[in-house]
A and B are shown apart, each in its own frame.
Chain A
């Protein structure tokens, strides 16, 4: 069955997908709309837009204060790159889960989702360890503007990753219950979108913090 139909068939999880949208709508109203994007997809894009603007606001503050004469640029511990790598790998495993569901390999979906969640937890734990390491070496929240930005940006990002982990946990439960198939896996795909987006945000932030 062509995967392209999945967008149009995003019924509630557990409900057998309908091939022909009923006239009059189903309460969610989507079938009657000619709009080519589902409600959930649209909401996910909007969520990412809002989160993007939050980090754009924080970034603009960074750029403004980067220009003050008293700015002290710090060397961040190498561990930051290890954490970054873990998050990027977790994006890869999430994508492998998405690819697995497209060929109805549900056991692989469970495996890759589990691994993604584990990597996500390792990333957040790694960030906490990184903060502890920095604190131990005397780089506190209040030490310099650069250290303040590092703690705030990585902290706000970590909160968003935790949100992603909650979504991932829900998606994993659904996968465990066998609610996904090659024609109905929109929640998994949207959660993956968000996860990749937060991975991209982190890559941007770390490049900003290290090189800008």
Chain B
């Protein structure tokens, strides 16, 4: 290891507020993103618990909830409008304010300068501004729960014309929907500031010797994700601008002629509700990969570290991430197979969608190739990385059914879809995020998280997620609709109810298990086992050249110089089973 200086002297000492609150240090901003996203996860998770309560016992009276939420539980029974607003807010909070925020905001900020051998982001102030705008967007979206009329009812996709008509189309579609659009606008601006910073930093600030093909896969994934964000989020902003004009300016971009509201014919004419879907999904499908790509990158690096083997086929891992990203822009129609789309166009979207299975499968086989024959160190981080592959494959396989228009016409808007996207774009990224937290926690806080509690967390979560989401596939095949308030309303769904109860009970257990993680995380910050070395996992990448926790400025007087790729594990003839990137050629034998 070449560079192991204490780093604080590289930058002046700052006071508490400048150091931990209004900081421009990328590591602090990363941790701020992480803790904010965790708070949002608690809110989003609680909302899903209320949904599961309703789905398992639809006619049940809940006197205690009636006292706490008298409007939502008027007469101690959940209001149908409140249920639909829970669907909207759970989806919105989880997709944007948890997954996007934690994977790119938290890990992106924390890891980019550390892994490329830089002292900070290219534009530290812009980086800090990005976090504060994100925090503002969190406050705005949460406030939608508390305004008159409540949160919006249109789902996280906010389909027009319901979302364009204002309060007349439902109680939450007034102020609640306005706040939803504002929050997403702010989130988009924050994301653009972050993405601009990420791409610039990774491309222009790599340290000496760190060529692109020596980057860890985490960095590749963050770079590709940031480019995706820069191309996709502005289209969401464009749609949001048009929607705002429809709602507040009286325009008709998404509102067709002939809509009657409250026995009154609206004066709008010429608009096209499907235009919203096209714009939204042009953004929405890349958004799925904005969430999953960093998860893939992090899981790959962590897996390689604990398998003590190089990642299998590094270049193909990079090329498959790039091709997944490129393809994600030509598949958006797979969300719209039942929108009246021409069957020919449907088959084109089917084809482009199924092609994504190829690079995804390449990645999966490469992960298996990495694990194959390895003497795996079963830490919590490595378990969550392996769990990530399991959940990603389980969720990905059902995507093949949903990507074919013929099968999707039957499965559209059923619990089969809910099961699919939860496994592949919620649980898989969540597992990778957990892997990342357990792995980089020592670098963040100078202490370990408790491994025993971590393993309990992993195994209970793995069993829990399959208990919750596997039965949903069966529910979907039986025809169980998503977003439904009362399954017992339909005779044909009554036999499903036992499974609904099972899913709900499993979901409550799964949520309870996450409390173990939260306790482990926050207690370990102050009372975890101290880390006494820079590189406790014996990893190769540059962040492990710095002290735990890393000080302001990251590296000492000299930035590290890179001599090799990030995956030199178990090199034949080497003294150790890992060779850090800073070791010059031949130095591994000394």
Contact = CB atoms under 8 A, between A and B. Distances in A.
B206 interface: yes
B234 A46 contact: no
B275 to A, nearest CB: 5
A73 B526 CA distance: 67
B196 A43 contact: yes
Contacts of B199: 42, 46
A115 B284 CA distance: 43
Interface in B179-219: 192, 195-197, 199-201, 203-208, 211
Nearest to B205: A29
Interface size class, chain A: 35 or more
B279 A61 contact: yes
Given A24-B558, A29-B119, A141 B249 contact: yes
A50 B122 CA distance: 18
Interface size class, chain B: 35 or more
B555 to A, nearest CB: 9
B230 interface: yes
Contacts of A142: 249-252
A56 B233 CA distance: 12
Interface string A33-77: 111011100110011011111111110110011001011000000
Contact of B230 (A29, A46, A152): A46
A12 interface: no
Contacts of B117: 29, 32
A152 B118 contact: no
Contacts, number: 148
Contacts of A42: 122, 199-200, 203-204
Contacts of A148: 245, 249, 251-253
A43 B127 CA distance: 13
B336 interface: no
A156 interface: yes
Contact of B239 (A29, A35, A57, A145): A57
B278 interface: yes
Given A70-B257, A70-B270, A29 B118 contact: yes
Nearest to A145: B270
Nearest to B279: A57
Interface string A123-153: 0000000000000000001101100100010
Contacts of A145: 251-253, 270-271
Interface of B: 117-120, 122-123, 192, 195-197, 199-201, 203-208, 211, 230-239, 241-242, 245, 249-253, 257, 269-272, 275, 278-279, 282, 553, 557-559
Nearest 4 A-B pairs (CB), nearest first? A57-B238, A29-B205, A57-B235, A53-B234
Given A50-B195, A57-B234, 10 more contacts: A27-B119, A27-B553, A42-B200, A52-B234, A53-B232, A54-B238, A56-B238, A61-B279, A142-B249, A152-B241
